[in-house]
Chain A
Amino acid sequence: MYRNLTRFLGEPYARPLSSILLRMKLTFFICLATLMQVSASIHAQKVTLKVNNLAIESVFAQLHDQTGYDILYRSADLKKIAPINLNVKDMPLKQVIEKCLAGQPLSYTISSNAVIIKSIPLVKSSADSLFKIKGRVYDNGEPPSPIPGVIVKVKDRAVSATTDPNGNFEISVNQGDILLFSYVGFKSQEYTIRNLKENLTISLVADINALDEVVVTGYTERKLKHLANSMGLVDIKATIQDKPITQLSQALQGGVTGLTVQQASGLPGGDAAKILIRGISTLGVSDPLILVDGVPYPLDDIDPTTVESISVLKDAAAASIYGSRAANGVIVVTTRRGKVGKVSIVYDGYFGIQKPTYIPDFVEAPQYMEMVNLAQRNNGGTPTYTQSQIDITRAGTDPLVYPNTNWSALILKDQANSQNHTIGISGGNNLARFAVTGSYLKQDGIISNTSFNRYNLRANTSVTLSDKLSMYLDLALVRKESERPVQRIGNLAAGAGGPGYILYETYRIPPNIVAKYPDRADGYQAYGVYGEMLNPLAELERGGYTLSKDDDININFQPQWDIIPGLKLRGQYLFRTFSTGSVTNRDAYNFLDYFTNALRYQFGAIKTTGLAKKNYQYMSATLDYNKTFAKHTIYGLAGLSREMDNPSTSNQFAEANLASFFLKLNYIYNDKYLFESTIRTDGSSKFGPGKKWGVFPSAAVGWNINKEGFLKNVKTISNLKLRASYGLLGNNQNVGLYQYQTTINAGTGREAVIGNPDITWETVKMLDIGLDASFLENRIGLTVDYFDKKTEDILLTPPLSLSSGLGSSIPVNAGSVSNKGWEVAVNYNYEIGKQLKGSVSAGYSYYENKILSLTKGPYVNGSQIQKEGFPLNSYYGYMSNGLLQQADIAAGVPIIAGQVAGDIRYLDLNGDKQITSADRTVIGNPNPKGNYFLNMRLDLKRFDLQAQLNGFTKTDAYYTGRYNAPLNFTDGGGTPMTWQTDTWTPENTGASLPRLTPSPGNNALASDYWQTNAAFARVRFIQLGYTFNEKLIKKARLSQVRLYFNAQNPFTFTDMKYLDPETRGADTTYPMMRFYTFGINVKI
């Protein structure tokens, strides 16, 4: 079999190859062949062969059989070789090949498992081809600096040179030579001479010890060992790089402790995850501040392949440089920049299928009809369906009159495709560097008319204007196109959008409605009528679609002036304009009765477009100074910034401005004692006169214990740091614009906003104590943090009596919340021999929140309560004790007036012998207290296996909507799912669900009857990758080729049976997806 493969491989190679693409294809095949061979044992390199007058191809085939080496050649090259006569014994392969090719203008190379035969171009002799090449070597800093003293050596030849003080070198080389650059403190680098270019530009990457690692923090980069604050670094390689990520937020699920990342839906374009840093600590917006290259930017608009680093600033000391923006923590993202050196082209692509983690399984029509009859009987009414109707339906003999429709199968496809293609080009010289990345993501939905396309373009340019001046000019464009079905009736599935609306209809339309009648002779298509034509198939086919295009254009300009060594002035100006346009298109359709042709319903034509626009501007100037004098290192930063935000797409003149001044001072003694302090003051136009300014100071201390004399000689401890911080942070995200003013809706004369001139900043006070340790040359790492966070002056809208007519829209600073918790992260890297290495990292975060005070509390909002002493957004409702039985009713247990046997038995908590709204209590906490993750990576030779697991500990979740009230006729109906059939009847008193009724009555009230534990552990992904032998792909002029298969969310372990425990939700929730992808990364 293998022989055939060799021949087969030989043939395409024999054809003239003109395009790179073809070559890539070939490479791909070679790679595949190699991939298949890897498991084969290492063949002997000695050959014993006796042939007489045999064609050289056949000789090669025998050589291959003996050695296992692939022999690759162009057939044309071998044409002139006469048949071979050979008699060798235990001769090395190399010599055999030489014998075969003797006297021919052919050269060969032998790699680890292949022999490649090439014709020698008829050019100058090898001595003639020596020529002088010039070049310059830089570091990879920004702006890059030349490195003097770099040793430049020609590999396998005794020729070398050294760079001069300006980094220049000159050396004689041959085509095909490999240059080796080495310098202390930098990683060695190879460069293959391919053509006779005169000027080489080489950049060397600094080889940094883990402790000297430089990380991106607020406004600057700092050495990790000099930080006394709590920050987490996302391991880009483990969680983002070369992974099929549709939304970057999802990728943060298992990287850093203290993050709670939860996806609420699997909707294409709506599958972003919500991120919380150290839990919720306020009632309103609790999203962290996300900065990309220094400016606020939506995390999910970033093309994941462009991410260079992600730092999570968790405590007050780390975040307070962002003052009022930082109350919920800060995520600092930087994007990749071009480096000095040759142009590199990278392609990343994947193709995959998404499959829902669950699909509702509804009862079939006959059972549905029986359940309806039961419900009607339970309600004291006449059964709706006769036995003969049920029988005919069951027999399926008259599907147009007695249909049995599987709506779930009709509306929800069992899989949808996704693909992503990214091409990045980067490179540059000492004057200008660039990194341009374009990507295209396409996600289809499991519902028709539901899809998402995203186009990203990022062009980061760095220009050196002089030795002291440089600047970045970055352009980022994002276009997002979403297609959605029209949500015809806004009140239904409120807030869930078109796909949620279709799901809502799918859950409620009965199975004994015809989806679509056969085409009539005149071509008219009739649909089954349900309610106001609430037939999801008719909605999808005749209800039109909405297509929206969101454009986000960013220009980010960052000049930098190195005034004197160590002193830098940086400026930044960002302009963003965001616009969104949409078109809704529906043709008019008359829904006629299939049998009588009478008009049953009409869809009018909709042809509308809309356009909205908003913008954002940011300006800042910072001056920072960094200097080490003997044992003293000082770092200082002073800055100011201005933000002009126009958050409303409907009014370009509605602006919120923010003015900030900040100062940071660090002092480090002997790398041992660390001291940090920050102060920031923010003024916001969202507040009224006298309330605009807030001051947010912080301080932190750290102690690198391992630098102390008594630990210096303990080799097992590579690092041991204790740190503590305390500080204040602010929050004004919960305040809308103009809340200090009372304004009138001019169309009605009503108050649009009833203002409160006194509102001001929410303040977070936060203490953090942490320990960082690493052992055995950093092979084992441990980080532990404890935090105590208290949010004061929370902006709330206390419930006001409806009878005052005020509504509840008056914000006041009226509460405080405590949030305490701890985090622990460990990691372990190991290497077994040269072939096997791996790493494991795990984290656990725990937090507990509690409302400390609440003006005019508790606040009850439906099934949620805000109450002192309880977690935020606690569930509020009745306690239950199973179902009421006839004996309970007879015994006179307290009930809600009107309840009968088979209803939920609520508990009379206040002991007044009746169940009233006063018997409700706090019944659960929806905030997961603990969450954990586990990352694993195993590299074996060219294979890499990666896996991630994460989960939440016990969390209370509730079944709502059609998950607790099936058959809810008076609220649109609802087909029971197959698990909802075990209902109470006098014959089935031990049922798991209350009696069926046409409307749920009091059984759908918020109660712990519907409570479930949403704890889960989920295998987030498993990925198997293979990287090709570099020597092999070099022939195709590629420097890296990697293939992978990734399964996202393949397994979930949970008690929550009927919905996804992460998204939870109800009958409007677009399910979470399992995602199976095949991907490729190619680097040229």
Chain B
Amino acid sequence: MASKKQQINVKTGHPGWPINYGNSLMKKIYVLAAAYLLFFPSCTKEFLTKDNPTSTTDEQFWKTEAQLLTVVNDLAGGLPGGVFNFNGNTRISFTGLTDDAVWTANFLPEINTIALGNATPILPPSAFMAVLPFWRDDYSRIRLANRFLENASSAYVDPADLKRYMLEVRAYRAFFHLELFLYYGAIPIVTKSITPNESDLKRNTKEEVIQFITSELSECAAGLPLDYSAQGGDIFNRITKGAALTMKTVAFLNAGMYPQAASAAKEVIDLRYYELYKAADPKNSYLNLFMYSGETNKERIISIQNGNHKDAFLRLAPPNAGGTSTVNPTAAMVNTYETRQGKTLAELGTDSLEIYKRNPNYNDNRDPRFKASIIYPGATFYTLVDPFAPLPNVCAIGANNSSRTGFWVRKYADLADRTRPENGSLDFMIYRYADVLLMYVEALVESGQWSNTDVVTYLNQIRERAGMPNVNTTVYNTEAKMRELYRRERRVELAFEGSRLFDMRRWRIADQVMNGVVYGATNPATGVTVIAETRKFTNKDWLWPIPGEEMAGNLNMVQNPGY
């Protein structure tokens, strides 16, 4: 190899290239090289300290009222929605878990899996999970609430407002516990932000859970306002005094603590703030309650604002109007509606039953809530809906995007949304005054006071608003008959609003109603009744399984029986 010592031959170089640098350049290079070496080791400490340039650390966060409101709004966003909008926890969708409807969507397969009796802690993966996020999201919000309660006092905010925020947040925290309790049974109560070392939480007893929820809600109710008109008006997803008391009623009722439930419900009634909604034309009162025309009313206690409900039309409406028919009412639900005269189909005898099976709204002689809640074969919704008409018929039973039962949910499907099926702005009522009245009635009956005059009074209020005759006290004159009546009334009045799952568990009827064949509509021409599916209910199905992820991460968690 040639030596490197040789000089560059200037003659062969290109003219103009600086070849002979001489000493001055070399000196400069020595200096530069030295500087280069010196630069490196210095400033290493600063160089290796790179804190997050944009994120806020915990200590910096809890400073302003705006920051507190951010948290309150995030918690409010965790309330259950109406229909699915990329959020599993939606009350109308969950009707598919009950005998009122079959879930026919191409997502949330867990609803079918659970309804068919196939629930497992690890459900086969799907794009949208219902069971797991429910548990995860509610507990993640509980953590957020706890952190709020631990830190909010360091913010600069009016003391009275701070007090109210604290109560609101405690009420949300109690509600999330309540929701978990309703789906999973006794659960761990979490009242502080848990550190990783404390994260193996144990379940509390059912009594402890109810005690915690109700006492929290009582305290919150005492300090919360009746409404938020002073805070800027139309805020219906924030917990008010009435909402806290309603939640307390739900907690007591589902724990079987009926006297306490009755008195909690009575507290709501006694606020004299709420009333049943009446439309200008009383015939439309019940229908309009769920439409834009009745959206602003004094009946709603707490509602989720359009965000988790804006797809209502797309999900509920039949395909002729551009919907996808995800929640399909069952014949069992349809047959629950009385006649306009207040008779049940069973009371009428088999001939009439056959007529109403083939033509559910025969002579328009059914409880007006029927056609306000359900689209049935032969009803007109945008155009005539006839699942039994020959093809091409988008509404044919079993056709893509059509109902599997031949029935559709009418409630919350406002034709005004037909041209914007994914972008409605209707609010979904999580709790409304009629629910409170019915809970009050139930609590009275179940605590032995079936003859309390309030029972009939409030049932009549609800029936009257619906356009139904008063309770026939000659027929409903025993505790058992009154129980039958309030249960039917509750099922009909609150159809598809999300209460049925808890009702059928509380009434211990799930094993009967969730077992066996699920019927749909009857073809008026042939008399053949559609069978949607055949369900199976085993003992494990009284409660949902604790998600496998919780079981894997929590050594102290005990799985619900049967999973």
Q: When the two chains form their complex, are residues A380 and B124 in contact, meaning their CB atoms are under 8 A apart? A: no
Given contacts A600-B322, A999-B109, contact A743 B71 (CB under 8 A): no
Q: When the two chains form their complex, are residues B48 and A685 in contact, meaning their CB atoms are under 8 A apart? A: yes
- Looking at B238-246, B280-288, B334-342, B390-398, the stretch in contact with chain A turns out to be B390-398
Q: When the two chains form their complex, are residues A806 and B12 in contact, meaning their CB atoms are under 8 A apart? A: no
* B273 contacts the other chain (CB 8 A): no
* B128 contacts the other chain (CB 8 A): yes
Q: Which one, A381, A602, A656, A750, contacts B534 given CB within 8 A?
A: A381
* B207 contacts the other chain (CB 8 A): no
Q: When the two chains form their complex, are residues A598 and B8 in contact, meaning their CB atoms are under 8 A apart? A: no
* B419 contacts the other chain (CB 8 A): yes
Complex Cα distance, B12 from A431, in Å, reads 10
Q: When the two chains form their complex, are residues B552 and A799 in contact, meaning their CB atoms are under 8 A apart? A: yes
Count B-side interface residues using an 8 Å CB cutoff. Answer: 129
Complex Cα distance, B553 from A806, in Å, reads 11
Q: Which one, A529, A754, A807, contacts B319 given CB within 8 A?
A: A529
Can you list 20 A-B pairs, Cβ within 8 angstroms, ordered by A?
Answer: A145-B2, A380-B517, A380-B533, A400-B392, A401-B392, A467-B6, A529-B401, A531-B400, A598-B383, A621-B37, A621-B40, A685-B48, A685-B50, A744-B57, A746-B56, A746-B61, A746-B70, A751-B147, A801-B554, A960-B125
Chain A residue with Cβ nearest B180: A803
Which residues A728-770 have CB closer than 8 A to chain B?
Answer: 737-738, 741-754
What is the CB-to-nearest-CB distance from B171 to chain A, in angstroms, rounded to a whole number? 17
Q: Chain A binding site: helix, strand, loop or mixed by DSSP?
A: loop
* B474 contacts the other chain (CB 8 A): no
Residues of B within 8 A of A897 (CB): 117, 536, 538, 540, 562
* CB 8 Å contact bits of B519-534 with A (1 = contact, 0 = none): 0100000000011111
- Looking at B195-203, B211-219, B221-229, B425-433, the stretch in contact with chain A turns out to be B195-203
Q: When the two chains form their complex, are residues B193 and A805 in contact, meaning their CB atoms are under 8 A apart? A: yes
* B58 contacts the other chain (CB 8 A): yes
Q: When the two chains form their complex, are residues B67 and A898 in contact, meaning their CB atoms are under 8 A apart? A: no
Given contacts A862-B125, A971-B109, contact A166 B57 (CB under 8 A): no
Q: Which one, B26, B57, B518, contacts A742 given CB within 8 A?
A: B57
Q: When the two chains form their complex, are residues A379 and B140 in contact, meaning their CB atoms are under 8 A apart? A: no
Q: When the two chains form their complex, are residues B111 and A970 in contact, meaning their CB atoms are under 8 A apart? A: yes
Residues of A within 8 A of B58 (CB): 742-744, 751
Q: When the two chains form their complex, are residues A749 and B553 in contact, meaning their CB atoms are under 8 A apart? A: no
Given contacts A750-B140, A969-B106, A999-B112, contact A803 B557 (CB under 8 A): yes
Complex Cα distance, B394 from A530, in Å, reads 11
What is the CB-to-nearest-CB distance from A680 to chain B, in angstroms, rounded to a whole number? 15
What is the CB-to-nearest-CB distance from A555 to chain B, in angstroms, rounded to a whole number? 17
Complex Cα distance, B132 from A799, in Å, reads 14
* A492 contacts the other chain (CB 8 A): yes
* B54 contacts the other chain (CB 8 A): yes
Q: Which one, B33, B196, B391, contacts A800 given CB within 8 A?
A: B196
Residues of A within 8 A of B333 (CB): none
* B185 contacts the other chain (CB 8 A): no
Complex Cα distance, B74 from A752, in Å, reads 14
Which residues B21-58 have CB closer than 8 A to chain A?
Answer: 21, 25-26, 29, 33, 36-37, 40-41, 44, 47-58
Chain A residue with Cβ nearest B311: A532
Q: When the two chains form their complex, are residues B320 and A596 in contact, meaning their CB atoms are under 8 A apart? A: yes
Q: When the two chains form their complex, are residues A651 and B53 in contact, meaning their CB atoms are under 8 A apart? A: yes
Given contacts A379-B533, A596-B383, 10 further A-B contacts (CB under 8 A): A467-B7, A565-B4, A600-B322, A744-B58, A744-B60, A749-B67, A801-B201, A803-B139, A804-B194, A999-B113
Residues of A within 8 A of B29 (CB): 469, 561
Which residues A555-595 have CB closer than 8 A to chain B?
Answer: 561-562, 565, 569, 571, 593, 595
Q: When the two chains form their complex, are residues A621 and B36 in contact, meaning their CB atoms are under 8 A apart? A: yes
What is the CB-to-nearest-CB distance from B205 to chain A, in angstroms, rounded to a whole number? 16
Q: When the two chains form their complex, are residues B120 and A896 in contact, meaning their CB atoms are under 8 A apart? A: yes
Which residues B172-207 have CB closer than 8 A to chain A?
Answer: 187-188, 190, 193-194, 196, 198-201
- Looking at A774-782, A830-838, A1000-1008, the stretch in contact with chain B turns out to be A1000-1008
* A52 contacts the other chain (CB 8 A): no
Residues of B within 8 A of A381 (CB): 404, 518, 531-534
Q: Which one, B118, B136, B401, contacts A531 given CB within 8 A?
A: B401
**Interface set of B (CB-CB < 8 Å, partner A):** 1-9, 12-14, 17, 19, 21, 25-26, 29, 33, 36-37, 40-41, 44, 47-58, 60-61, 67, 70-71, 74, 86, 103-109, 111-113, 116-118, 120-122, 124-128, 135-136, 139-144, 146-148, 187-188, 190, 193-194, 196, 198-201, 314, 319-322, 324, 382-383, 391-392, 394, 397-398, 400-401, 404, 418-422, 517-518, 520, 530-534, 536, 538, 540, 547-554, 557, 559, 562-563
Chain B residue with Cβ nearest A973: B106
Q: Chain B binding site: helix, strand, loop or mixed by DSSP?
A: loop
Given contacts A167-B2, A802-B135, A805-B142, contact A750 B74 (CB under 8 A): yes
What is the CB-to-nearest-CB distance from B379 to chain A, in angstroms, rounded to a whole number? 16
Residues of A within 8 A of B533 (CB): 376, 379-381, 998
Residues of A within 8 A of B520 (CB): 382
Complex Cα distance, B314 from A802, in Å, reads 33
Residues of B within 8 A of A965 (CB): 124
Chain B residue with Cβ nearest A206: B1
What is the CB-to-nearest-CB distance from B531 to chain A, in angstroms, rounded to a whole number? 5
What is the CB-to-nearest-CB distance from B495 to chain A, in angstroms, rounded to a whole number? 22
Given contacts A800-B199, A804-B199, A897-B117, contact A970 B549 (CB under 8 A): no
Of residues A147, A464, A601, which shows the largest number of chain B Cβ atoms within 10 Å of its Cβ? A601
Complex Cα distance, B422 from A146, in Å, reads 77
Q: When the two chains form their complex, are residues B9 and A166 in contact, meaning their CB atoms are under 8 A apart? A: yes
Q: When the two chains form their complex, are residues A494 and B127 in contact, meaning their CB atoms are under 8 A apart? A: yes
Residues of B within 8 A of A561 (CB): 29, 33
**Interface set of A (CB-CB < 8 Å, partner B):** 136, 139, 141, 145-148, 165-168, 185, 199, 206, 376, 379-382, 384-385, 389, 400-402, 429-431, 464-467, 469, 491-492, 494, 510, 513, 529-532, 534, 561-562, 565, 569, 571, 593, 595-596, 598-602, 619, 621, 640, 642, 651, 653-657, 659, 683-685, 689, 692, 737-738, 741-754, 798-808, 810, 858-862, 896-898, 916-917, 960, 965, 968-973, 998-1002, 1004-1006
Q: Which one, A141, A971, A973, contacts B127 given CB within 8 A?
A: A971
Residues of B within 8 A of A743 (CB): 52, 55-58
Q: Which one, A469, A531, A1002, contacts B106 given CB within 8 A?
A: A531
Q: When the two chains form their complex, are residues A139 and B1 in contact, meaning their CB atoms are under 8 A apart? A: yes
Residues of A within 8 A of B394 (CB): 529, 593, 596, 600
Chain A residue with Cβ nearest B53: A653
Q: Which one, B9, B55, B71, B113, contacts A738 given CB within 8 A?
A: B55
Chain B residue with Cβ nearest A877: B122
Q: When the two chains form their complex, are residues B55 and A971 in contact, meaning their CB atoms are under 8 A apart? A: no
Chain B residue with Cβ nearest A620: B40
What is the CB-to-nearest-CB distance from B393 to chain A, in angstroms, rounded to a whole number? 9
Q: When the two chains form their complex, are residues B135 and A146 in contact, meaning their CB atoms are under 8 A apart? A: no
Chain A residue with Cβ nearest B194: A804
Q: When the two chains form their complex, are residues A972 and B106 in contact, meaning their CB atoms are under 8 A apart? A: yes
Q: When the two chains form their complex, are residues A491 and B127 in contact, meaning their CB atoms are under 8 A apart? A: yes
Q: When the two chains form their complex, are residues A651 and B54 in contact, meaning their CB atoms are under 8 A apart? A: yes
Q: When the two chains form their complex, are residues A970 and B196 in contact, meaning their CB atoms are under 8 A apart? A: no
Residues of A within 8 A of B74 (CB): 748-750
* 5 interchain residue pairs of minimum CB distance: A380-B534, A805-B143, A801-B554, A384-B398, A799-B553
Complex Cα distance, B505 from A867, in Å, reads 39
What is the CB-to-nearest-CB distance from B320 to chain A, in angstroms, rounded to a whole number? 6
Given contacts A657-B47, A750-B140, contact A530 B383 (CB under 8 A): no
Residues of B within 8 A of A139 (CB): 1-2
Of residues A619, A689, A744, which shows the largest number of chain B Cβ atoms within 10 Å of its Cβ? A744
Chain B residue with Cβ nearest A798: B553
Complex Cα distance, B563 from A947, in Å, reads 55
Complex Cα distance, B4 from A167, in Å, reads 12
What is the CB-to-nearest-CB distance from B470 to chain A, in angstroms, rounded to a whole number? 40
Complex Cα distance, B419 from A656, in Å, reads 50
Chain B residue with Cβ nearest A654: B53
Residues of A within 8 A of B187 (CB): 803
